[in-house]
Chains A and B, each alone.
Chain A
Amino acid sequence: MIEFWVILTGILVGITCGIAGVFLILRKMSMIADAISHTVLFGIVMAFIITQTLNGFWMLVGAACAGILTAYLVQLLQSSGIQEDAAIGVIFTSLFAAGVLLITLFAGNVHLDVEHVLMGEIAFVPWDRWTLLSITMPKAVWMLLLVLVINITFLVLFYKEMKLSTFDPVYAATIGLPVMLLHYGFMTTISLTTVSAFDSVGAILVVAMLIGPAATAYLISKSIKQMFVWSITFGVTAAVIGYYSAKWLDTSIAGMMATIVGVIFIVVFAIDKINSRLNKKVVAEIDMKEHNSNI
């Protein structure tokens, strides 16, 4: 049963991040997600300092605020002429440093230690349970389900708008779509995804799960819908294989899942390259035959 909950958490992380990652890659905002995954720490610490509890709900709120704050500050610096990569770098490192400092100052002896936040400990997931509507499930599973529902709702409601503002932001703005609002809305879902996944698997795995499967899917997909399917598939595969190989090698589960994300990328990349080379060869042979028969 314990193993079941851990794997279920991993799979849910795979699905949630897989969905959130698609537009992240398409909008070229992967590094903003990386930034948010670091600054979420700041939001969580602030939520703890203000409420003095480790309540999951307030953490979600704090993380969402920190995520929006990050997106807003990066936008602010960029619009005043600072190049994008530097804007992201300045903001996230500063907020992350502030988060680490606040933890050492105010929350040193609470469960919020920084290493835990960075690396996560998915193996502890099953012990921390919540009961809602007389169903008892681990807290992480509840939070991930909640965020998954939020992510899907956001996509169902704004799929067309997101698509348009991703591929043709100027046109989207001209026909009156609230491009900025969509941007911040999307950033909110990214921060919610980050915080829900991060309590169980740590900040770094969230980045791996957000960017990796979607980037791999991007290599081989011909449409956005296809990309969603592949992204979720790769995310879930990485979670399951990662869990079992971590168990086999007796090491960090989150770290192993991130490693598998990389392995899947390499495999898919290689297969895709070989395929396209074979295709070219076949096409060239057909061309040659036609050429010869014409003579």
Chain B
Amino acid sequence: MLSGNLLWVLIGTMLLGIAAGITGTFSFLQKQSLVGDAAAHAALPGIALAFLITGQKELPVLMVGAAITSALAVYCIQWIVTYSKLKADAAIGLVLAVFFGIGIVLLTIVNRSPLGNQSGLNDFIFGKAATMTKSDLTWLFISAGIIILVSLLLYKEWKLMIFDPVYAKGIGLPVEALKACLTALIVMTIVTGIQAVGVILMSALLIIPAASAKLWTKKLNTMLLFSAICGGLAGVAGTFISSIRTGLSTGPIIVLFAASIFFISYVFSPKSGQLSKYLRKKKFQQQGDVS
């Protein structure tokens, strides 16, 4: 049942889920979840551009292109928010749509050129986890490993930066550099994941595990742990379910699995779940009746 390649894909999507769960938690706590969404959309023009310039379909080349335009999009958003009276939501929406539009323009040019035959680049929009090759997976392993490692190394500094930036600056931490490093890592997560789950659903992997974790705990380390487990589990289960029947795309199933974890957390979590809230309210009312 578990063929060789499937096992590797399973491990790959698991690592991806863990990496996204960790970086997603940090971006969630900075209230920047949707910036990740914009960065994911902005990877598309980079992929097309890298292909147009180099004429290669090598994954590392495309990933570099994706990383450059994603980072550029994040920078544009920050720039618009700082230098105009537009609010963050408008800036994010504008940058997201324009970059994706440029991406589609470039993609049509690629598809028309003699080098780029139809298949291949279009996969980046919806992902193709199930059919990834060994070399694709090697890159996935390496970059997911780097993301997880760096997050663990910088855990303390980021924690301080997020919860008490003033104090962090005071004791001499390079806050701006740390922030840039976190953004870079989020972009890297997105770039790593788009081949597996696609541009649009990648943002789900950054947001949903973190939001679910927040429902269970308020402590950063447990939140990171939960978010990583949730992301990893969604990756494994989604890939496994989609491998059972042909024609089921992997990306959406991973996302729906993560969404059901979120739903369970939303209803049943002991602290902030709706059920426990309801029960507490009822108990409170009953006490009121008695006295």
B-contacting residues of A (Cβ < 8 Å)? 25, 28-31, 33-34, 38, 77, 80-83, 85-90, 93-94, 96-98, 100-101, 104-105, 108, 114-115, 118-119, 204-205, 207-208, 210-212, 215, 218-219, 246, 249-252, 254-259, 261-262, 265, 269, 273
Contact = CB atoms under 8 A, between A and B. Distances in A.
A269 B98 contact: no
Nearest to A207: B97
Contact of B86 (A87, A90, A218, A261): A218
B148 interface: no
A118 to B, nearest CB: 7
17 contacts: A25-B90, A28-B90, A31-B93, A34-B93, A83-B31, A89-B204, A97-B259, A101-B253, A104-B247, A115-B122, A205-B97, A207-B93, A207-B96, A219-B86, A258-B97, A258-B98, A259-B101
Contacts, number: 188
Contacts of B102: 255, 258-259, 262
A104 B251 CA distance: 12
Contacts of A101: 248-249, 252-253, 256
Given A30-B89, A93-B203, A250-B112, A85 B32 contact: yes
A290 B135 CA distance: 73
Interface residues of B, number: 60
Contacts of A83: 28, 31
B236 interface: no
Interface string B244-272: 00011101110110010010001000001
Q: Is the interface of B mostly helix, strand, loop or mixed?
A: helix
A97 to B, nearest CB: 4
Nearest to B208: A90
B204 A93 contact: yes
Contacts of A81: 272
Contacts of A219: 84-86
Contacts of A105: 247-248
Contacts of B97: 34, 204-205, 207-208, 211-212, 258, 261
B256 A80 contact: no
Contacts of B34: 31, 85, 88-89
B42 to A, nearest CB: 12
A265 B99 CA distance: 13
Residue of A80, A93, A250 most packed against chain B (CB within 10 A): A93
Contacts of B150: none
B106 to A, nearest CB: 8
A221 to B, nearest CB: 11
